[in-house]
Structure 1
């Protein structure tokens, strides 16, 4: 009887581990991101981020919800700019004060100098 219980426990743990692995690998748009605490990795969803030109040599990062799901109010969106001008390397976060539906955008309100800026955003 003891052997059966141990074997059943091992099978149950194996099944649970398989289900968790399948669920985490099924989301192709997700990536692993360090959260800065003891090397722990967390899963995040990448969003579209473009540095839109607003005037000569000035760009503003704009984040678009390119997923199929609405991002809820209160969600924190992290973003980072890269390029060669002033503001390059900027890392900030935005807390949504209202839901962000698929296809909607949010302006970061940060001016970047130069014409060759890019950005990344995720939550």
Structure 2
């Protein structure tokens, strides 16, 4: 997960689209979404989990998918839920948006029986 652009985010230098194209050309990485602009909290709650934000969240993740696909000429099939959180409703939105797999935040291995929309990922 990360952010693309020259913006200063907590004094971290962000990758550029050229950096990401170089990574793509290496054949060593794949790319997924983490939302376009819905990874923030309001009152210590992930805003995208609120029912009133579902339409906005769907538009946001479709935009994220399209921006990555258009800039890198890759198909984006995966999303990491912001904050590693989801709900049945959010998972259905992710499916409707065209994602084939999604990742929660849980420090346990993925197994052959893992649900493709509730795959574990480790925070690094």
TM-score (norm 2): 0.25
Structure number having the greater strand percentage: 1
- What is the TM-score normalised by the length of structure 1? 0.25
- The structure that is helix-richer by fraction is 2
